[in-house]
């Protein structure tokens, strides 16, 4: 299975477009959005805009890395027969999905770190060492929720439909969850929706650390429920697909 | 198993016992029983929809039987694959986009418990010179050879090939079968499905004919041809031809008169030719020949269709 992970990685790092959108794009977006508003405090958080947005964009980058590549690849490789071919090898059935998830996790780490570097070096975001480490760890770990979602989409969508479906989910979750702008700027009814989205809870974890707090139980619970939902759905869809393949 | 042809001590390489698989109302495989023995090179033939793909899928554990049992080396298909005893090349099997041929083969080798060196595998499959090419940039024949390399990445005892030469030109096909024969000569059991009946005729030492999910014939190519029963008789006649008299000849299965040439298929060529001379005609350029496997195959499956309709 390590060989498959390695090959998935080789392939991911060969794909310039994917690397740009998952590693560089979030950092660039961060630099644009964080702007020069160094002293603007985001409502109710006490955090400066760059500090606030840094977590949003790191989360966004990790989301891109784990969601975008996998859903499309899985859907296409199911149709193209690669999944069948792998089933003719001693690789355990779940090895395919695990390799995909592991390789996405490897790509998501630089996308988080690059945003942090941009924040620290260019936007002068200052945090304690433990905060940087905890942020990296929690955003990285939290991205597993969306990796599971990516797998589920890959198994539910056909090769033609997978891109639009992924895009809708991706932008929907990013924007409504407040990764691009604080949800406090939303009208009330959108805020009511946003607070139940996994991306909202995801960014809130990191923000709590920036505020030197423990992550809120509600956010952890929301993410846990989504993880069970996505991973369970992915497992169920995977099994269904295996029976008909 | 009901088969007793093999010595009782030998576990069949592949054993199907009363296997049935249905999709909705269609019985893709219908009470199929068969046994493959070590070292056999077996061709699986059948018209489209005969259940060949489903049979291979069941054999490889890609599908589960509704009833009956499938054994490979006395274990489940999956266990046999995990033990590295089965190498397979499926038509529906895809490759991993955007990686090179060499990377693909190396992956297959690292997944196989009894792997060969990747370089050797590529050399044998004739893909060394395209090792740096991306797999999504290959011609049909080249992809087939890469699939073949994946199927032979290790020392497997059973090799399954589904339409292996599709997309290859004549010389590539010959080269392919030469490679395949080497595999068989090393004592491997080879099972292949094909549309090219001349391949089955030339390569297989046993031919299975599937029809509507059932085994219609099982034997050597010669036996299958004999089972089809018919021989071809062709001759020329001068002057007016009395077609009605020809049609009245015994043991005919078909008559075709075009110009002065008469082509007959007969289930007892000796008797038919004897009766032909009894008509008082003088057939010239008389030829009596056995059916090719292709014609035998058509004869067998059509006879079965006729029986069922």
pLDDT at B297: 82
Return d(Cα A140, Cα B195) in angstroms, integer: 52
Total domains in the fold of chain B: 2
Q: Mean pLDDT score of chain B, rounded to an integer?
A: 89
pLDDT at A226: 96
- From B225, B259, B275, give the residue that closes a domain: B225
We report the CATH number of the domain holding residue B185 as: 3.40.50.300
Tokens of B266: 């007969």
pLDDT in tens, A45-79: 788 888 989 999 999 999 999 998 889 999 999 99
Task: Look up residue B100 and give its DSSP letter.
Answer: B
Quick check: A214 and A236 in contact, CB under 8 A?
no
**Nearest CB to B82; choose among A3, A11, A90:** A90
pLDDT at B6: 47
Q: Do A84 and B93 touch (CB under 8 A)?
A: yes
Using only C-alpha atoms, chain A has a radius of gyration, in whole angstroms, of 18
Query: Per the domain annotation, does B61 fall within a domain?
Result: yes
Whether B122 and B243 map to the same domain: the answer is no
Whether B199 and B252 map to the same domain: the answer is no
pLDDT at A49: 87
Quick check: A147 and A70 in contact, CB under 8 A?
yes
> A20 exposed, middle or buried (CB, 10 Å; 0-12, 13-18, 19+)?
exposed
- How large is the greatest C-alpha to C-alpha distance in chain A, in angstroms? 59
Helix (H) or strand (E) segment spanning residue B183:
helix B170-185
Return d(Cα A193, Cα A204) in angstroms, integer: 15
For chains A and B, CB pairs below 8 A equal 72
Cβ count within 10 A of residue A221:
11
Whether B169 and B119 map to the same domain: the answer is yes
Look at residue B285 and give its three-state secondary structure: strand
Q: How confident is the model at residue B35 (pLDDT cuts 50, 70, 90)?
A: very high
Tell me which of A14, A79, A89, A240 to substitute to probe the interface with B (most B C-beta atoms closer than 10 Å). Answer: A89
Whether B175 and B239 map to the same domain: the answer is no
At residue A151's C-alpha, the angle toward residues A146 and A156, to 5°, is 120
Look at residue B155 and give its three-state secondary structure: coil
Task: Look up residue A184 and give its DSSP letter.
Answer: G
Query: Per the domain annotation, does B306 fall within a domain?
Result: no
Q: Which residue of B has its CA nearest to A76?
A: B97
CA distances from B100 to A38, A103, A123, A159, B222 (A): 48, 18, 41, 22, 43
pLDDT in tens, A205-244: 999 999 988 889 999 999 999 999 999 999 889 888 887 7
pLDDT at A39: 67
pLDDT at B167: 80
Query: Per the domain annotation, does B211 fall within a domain?
Result: yes
Nearest C-alpha of chain A: how many angstroms from B81?
6
Look at residue A165 and give its three-state secondary structure: helix
Q: What percent of chain B has pLDDT over 70?
A: 97
Return d(Cα B85, Cα A47) in angstroms, integer: 61
* Residue closest to B246 by CA, chosen among B267, B285, B273, B284: B273
DSSP assignment string, B61-94: TSS--SEEEEEETTB-HHHHHHTT-EEEE-TT--
Whether B146 and B187 map to the same domain: the answer is yes
Task: Look up residue A87 and give its DSSP letter.
Answer: H
| Number of residues assigned to chain B | 309
Q: What pTM does this model have?
A: 0.82
Return d(Cα B43, Cα B36) in angstroms, integer: 11
Q: What percent of chain A has pLDDT over 70?
A: 98
- From B225, B242, B276, give the residue that closes a domain: B225
Whether B19 and B36 map to the same domain: the answer is yes
Whether B128 and B53 map to the same domain: the answer is yes
Residue the block writes with tokens 């549309």: B195
Whether B135 and B205 map to the same domain: the answer is yes
Q: Mean pLDDT score of chain A, rounded to an integer?
A: 90
pLDDT at B210: 92
Q: With contacts defined as CB-CB under 8 Å, which chain A residues touch B61?
A: 87
Q: Within 13 Å of residue A131, how many CA atoms lie on the same side as its CB?
A: 17
Whether B189 and B248 map to the same domain: the answer is no
Whether B126 and B178 map to the same domain: the answer is yes
Q: With contacts defined as CB-CB under 8 Å, which chain A residues touch B92?
A: 81, 84
Domain extent for B28:
14-225
For residue A70, what are the contacts with CB-CB under 8 A and spacing of at least 6?
A100, A101, A104, A147, A150, A151, A154
Q: Phi, psi at residue B288, to the nearest 5°?
A: -125, 120
Q: How confident is the model at residue A36 (pLDDT cuts 50, 70, 90)?
A: low
**Using a CB cutoff of 8 Å and minimum separation of 24, what contacts does A183-190 make?**
A184/A42, A184/A43, A184/A44
Nearest C-alpha of chain B: how many angstroms from A29?
28
pLDDT at B158 over 70: yes
CA distances from A14 to A19, A101, B157 (A): 8, 17, 36
pLDDT at A38 over 70: no
> A165 exposed, middle or buried (CB, 10 Å; 0-12, 13-18, 19+)?
middle
Q: With contacts defined as CB-CB under 8 Å, which chain A residues touch B99?
A: 7, 10-11
Tokens of B256: 């075709």
pLDDT in tens, B211-240: 999 998 899 988 888 777 778 899 999 888
pLDDT at B3: 44
pLDDT at B1: 40
Q: How confident is the model at residue B242 (pLDDT cuts 50, 70, 90)?
A: confident
Look at residue B111 and give its three-state secondary structure: helix
- From B191, B225, B259, give the residue that closes a domain: B225
pLDDT in tens, A159-171: 899 999 999 999 9
Average pLDDT of B116-124?
Answer: 95
Whether B93 and B162 map to the same domain: the answer is yes
pLDDT at B298: 82
Look at residue A92 and give its three-state secondary structure: coil
Q: How confident is the model at residue A1 (pLDDT cuts 50, 70, 90)?
A: confident
Q: How confident is the model at residue B9 (pLDDT cuts 50, 70, 90)?
A: low
Write down the ipTM of this complex. 0.84
Return d(Cα B32, Cα B215) in angstroms, integer: 7
pLDDT at B168: 84
Q: With contacts defined as CB-CB under 8 Å, which chain A residues touch B93?
A: 81-82, 84-85, 88
Q: Do B81 and A90 touch (CB under 8 A)?
A: yes
Cβ count within 10 A of residue B125:
24
pLDDT at B89: 92
Whether B134 and B56 map to the same domain: the answer is yes
Q: With contacts defined as CB-CB under 8 Å, which chain A residues touch B64?
A: 243
pLDDT at B2 over 50: no
For residue B137, what are the contacts with CB-CB under 8 A and spacing of at least 6?
none
pLDDT at B75: 95
């Amino acid at each position: 299975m390590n060989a498959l992970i390695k090959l998935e990685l080789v392939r991911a790092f060969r794909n310039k477009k994917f690397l740009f959108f998952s590693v560089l794009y979030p950092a660039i977006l961060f630099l644009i959005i964080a702007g020069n508003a160094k002293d603007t405090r985001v409502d109710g958080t006490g955090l400066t805009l760059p500090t606030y947005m840094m977590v949003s964009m790191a989360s966004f980058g990790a989301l891109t890395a784990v969601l975008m590549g996998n859903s499309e690849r899985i859907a296409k490789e199911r149709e193209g027969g690669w999944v069948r071919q792998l089933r003719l090898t001693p690789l355990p059935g779940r090895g395919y999905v695990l390799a995909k998830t592991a390789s996405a996790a490897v790509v998501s780490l630089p996308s988080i770190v690059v945003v942090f570097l941009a924040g620290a070096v260019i936007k002068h975001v200052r945090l304690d060492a433990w905060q940087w480490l905890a942020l990296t760890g929690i955003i990285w770990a939290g991205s597993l929720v969306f990796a599971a979602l990516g797998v589920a989409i890959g198994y539910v969508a056909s090769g033609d439909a997978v891109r639009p479906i992924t895009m809708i989910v991706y932008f929907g979750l990013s924007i409504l969850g407040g990764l691009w702008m604080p949800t406090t700027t939303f009208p009330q009814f959108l805020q009511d929706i946003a607070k139940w989205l996994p991306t909202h809870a995801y960014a809130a974890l990191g923000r709590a650390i920036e505020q030197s707090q423990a992550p809120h139980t509600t956010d952890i619970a929301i993410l846990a429920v989504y993880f069970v939902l996505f991973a369970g759905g992915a497992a169920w869809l995977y099994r269904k697909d295996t029976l008909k393949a | 198993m009901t088969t007793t042809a093999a010595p009782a001590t030998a576990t069949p390489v592949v054993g199907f016992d009363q296997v049935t698989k249905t999709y909705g109302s269609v019985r893709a495989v219908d009470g199929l029983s068969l046994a493959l023995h070590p070292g056999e090179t077996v061709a699986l033939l059948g018209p489209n929809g005969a259940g060949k793909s489903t049979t291979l899928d069941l054999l490889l554990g890609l599908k589960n039987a509704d009833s009956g049992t499938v054994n490979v080396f006395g274990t489940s298909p999956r266990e046999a694959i995990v033990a590295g005893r089965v190498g397979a090349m499926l038509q529906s099997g895809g490759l991993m986009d955007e990686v090179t041929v060499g990377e693909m083969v190396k992956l297959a080798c690292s997944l196989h418990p009894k792997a060969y060196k990747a370089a050797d595998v590529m050399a044998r499959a004739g893909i060394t010179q395209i090792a740096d090419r991306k797999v999504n940039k290959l011609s049909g024949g080249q992809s087939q050879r890469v699939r073949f390399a994946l199927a032979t990445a290790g020392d497997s005892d059973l090799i399954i090939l589904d339409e292996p030469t599709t997309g290859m030109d004549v010389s590539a096909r010959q080269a392919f079968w030469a490679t395949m024969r080497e595999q068989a000569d090393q004592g491997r059991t080879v099972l292949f499905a094909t549309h090219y009946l001349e391949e089955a005729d030339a390569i297989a030492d046993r031919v299975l004919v599937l029809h509507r999910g059932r085994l219609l014939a099982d034997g050597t190519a010669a036996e299958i041809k004999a089972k089809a029963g018919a021989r071809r008789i062709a001759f020329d006649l001068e002057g007016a031809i009395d077609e009605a008299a020809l049609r009245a000849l015994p043991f005919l299965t078909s008559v075709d008169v075009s110009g002065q040439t008469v082509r007959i298929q007969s289930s007892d060529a000796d008797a038919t030719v004897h009766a032909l001379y009894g008509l008082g005609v003088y057939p010239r350029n008389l030829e009596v020949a056995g059916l090719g496997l292709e014609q035998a195959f058509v004869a067998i499956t059509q006879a079965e269709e006729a029986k069922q309709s």
